[in-house]
Structure 1
Amino acid sequence: MSHRDEYRQWPFVTQEEFDLVCAFFDQRYVRAELGPTRQIFKIRSRWTATTATSYIEILRLLQLPEDQDELSLAFGKMNGVGSELSDTDVEMNEDTDHEALRPELRRQETECGSAPPQYSLFSNQPYVTYEVHLHPTYRMPTLWFTLHDLPMGEPAFDLDSIYRYLVPEDYKSRLRTAGITGGISAAPHPITDVPAFFMHPCQTKEAMEDFDCSMNDYLMVWLGVVGGCVGLWVPPEMAQES
């Protein structure tokens, strides 16, 4: 039986199907043996009360600090990013072998629209926040991304900064001419309404039609199609079945 039969209308996904593929993707991250990769790459399944929908948040440091204390401070700040958007959050800690995770569910009741993370002299490490939301019109996942804590004088909401920090050289000319994934666009963020960048999903359907994947693999495959254009690669360990 084709995996496409699991979906109401392949390769599109309903909101219920998207919630499920987000849960599968988060589970892959929790179970994967990532070791030191977890120091610079974090995935969290999010849920927002205003729309009662799920989405995926991915945090990645743009460069690894040489000082371990700087690294700890940077991720201490990053772990608070987006908390004002969700009612539930899975916080992950690793034991001394850096592999065993102990997920802890915590309830948060905070107001939307709170101030962004404050600048800290000791944790000002540039990082990118990726978010995967379901597009209400195209009914396809959509990759949103924002830069944070860039060096002084470099604007975060700037297309040149996106190309400089995120887009690999091989993709730059293709994206500037609206390549296979539709190119980089800007619009108000689907939750915060703050201007942000996203990969336009207008041609993602055609790219996904060549695949036949289960819901457990859907976001892995989709990110393989879309993510590399803006520097997002899923660790190969997440592709391994536990």
Structure 2
Amino acid sequence: MSRCHDEYQQWPFLSQEEFELACAFFDQRYVRASLGPTRQIFKIRSRRTLTAGTSYIEVLRILQLPEDGDELSLALAGLGKSGGDIDLVNSTDVDMTEEDGDEPYVTYEIHLHPTYRMPTLWFMLHDLPMGENSFNVDAVYRYLVPPEYKSRLRAAGVTGGISAAPHPITDVPAFFIHPCQTKEAMENFDCPIKNYLMIWIGLVGGCVGLSIPPEMARDEEEI
């Protein structure tokens, strides 16, 4: 057995404690990475639920950057204001202001699936142009799914593709990537728990427009 796999109770599955540790390592990467201006448009926050106190990761990204600097500032200020029953644990982002931005953005969340015992990627669109429904799979394909993934995701259907269900915290309808095929994908890798979410996002996130800034990978040895 790989020495890295000794860090887990049952690789590649995660216990709640292992997931909490993976979230903490991932948050440290974001805090320590030299992101520069990227930190203003791509936010990662480690959070906890108010009910069970379990950890999860929230990622916020503006879908299309405004050309005007003032509009960009307003858009950044408005990110994440629609959160539900959640409590911020740690954030290195600029302080939120009282102004509301109205630029379209996406919220990704990484939660541990209680049955599959694998991280699961949830995502929600916000502040789309008037007349567009945020909870619409066509909008997801239009705003999030890169062209090279569209046919494969549509062919996958619900199993292994884009699914919809009540959000695990707010119970509001949301989209997620079904985790049933994640185990087989992760088994091809040999990684310590500090790298788990980096590898996992590389496998799961790209199909819905989530990628990690390369600076977070370059800072690996400092963690």
User: What TM-score, normalized by structure 2, do the two folds share?
Assistant: 0.92
Q: 1:132 aligns to what SS in structure 2?
A: strand
Q: Which residue of 2 aligns with 1:159?
A: 137
Q: Which residue of 2 aligns with 1:15?
A: 16
In structure 1, runs of 5+ residues without a counterpart are 95-103, 105-117
Q: Which residue of 2 aligns with 1:198?
A: 176
* Further displaced range: 126-135 or 72-81: 72-81
- Partners in 2 of 1:154 and 1:79 — Cα distance? 19
Q: Which residue of 1 aligns with 2:69?
A: 68
- Partners in 2 of 1:58 and 1:230 — Cα distance? 13
Provide, for residues 108-139 of structure 1, a one-character-per-residue CA deviation record: whole Å limited to 9, x for no partner.
Answer: xxxxxxxxxx995xx21000000000000000
- Partners in 2 of 1:135 and 1:9 — Cα distance? 15
Q: 1:216 aligns to what SS in structure 2?
A: helix
* Further displaced range: 73-82 or 34-43: 73-82
Report if aligned partners of 2:78, 2:99 keep a CA contact under 8 Å in 1: no
- For residues 93 and 169 of structure 1, do their structure 2 counterparts lie closer, same or farther at Cα, with a shift above 3 Å needed? closer
- For residues 89 and 68 of structure 1, do their structure 2 counterparts lie closer, same or farther at Cα, with a shift above 3 Å needed? farther
Q: Which residue of 2 aligns with 1:99?
A: none
Paired AA for residue 137 in structure 1: T
Q: Which residue of 2 aligns with 1:32?
A: 33
Q: 2:211 aligns to what SS in structure 1?
A: coil
Q: How does 1:217-232 map to 2 (within 5 A)?
A: 217-232=195-210
Q: 1:51 aligns to what SS in structure 2?
A: coil
Q: 2:191 aligns to what SS in structure 1?
A: coil
- Partners in 2 of 1:201 and 1:36 — Cα distance? 33
- Partners in 2 of 1:81 and 1:167 — Cα distance? 23
Provide, for residues 33-88 of structure 1, a one-character-per-residue CA deviation record: whole Å limited to 9, x for no partner.
Answer: 01111121000000012122100000000011111111111111114342x43334
| Larger relative helix fraction | 2
Q: 1:223 aligns to what SS in structure 2?
A: helix
- Partners in 1 of 2:135 and 2:212 — Cα distance? 24
Q: 1:35 aligns to what SS in structure 2?
A: coil
Q: 2:20 aligns to what SS in structure 1?
A: helix
Q: Which residue of 1 aligns with 2:161?
A: 183
Is the aligned partner of 1:237 residue 2:215?
Answer: yes
Is the aligned partner of 1:89 residue 2:89?
Answer: yes
Structure 1 residue 90: Cα displacement: 2.1
Structure 1 residue 89: Cα displacement: 2.8
Provide, for residues 123-167 of structure 1, a one-character-per-residue CA deviation record: whole Å limited to 9, x for no partner.
Answer: 210000000000000000000000001111111000000000000
Residues paired across the two proteins, number: 216
Paired AA for residue 199 in structure 2: V
User: What TM-score, normalized by structure 1, do the two folds share?
Assistant: 0.85
Provide, for residues 198-239 of structure 1, a one-character-per-residue CA deviation record: whole Å limited to 9, x for no partner.
Answer: 000000000000001011100000000000000000001101
Q: Which residue of 2 aligns with 1:114?
A: none
Report if aligned partners of 2:103, 2:127 keep a CA contact under 8 Å in 1: yes
Identity %: 70
In structure 2, runs of 5+ residues without a counterpart are none
- Partners in 2 of 1:192 and 1:4 — Cα distance? 34
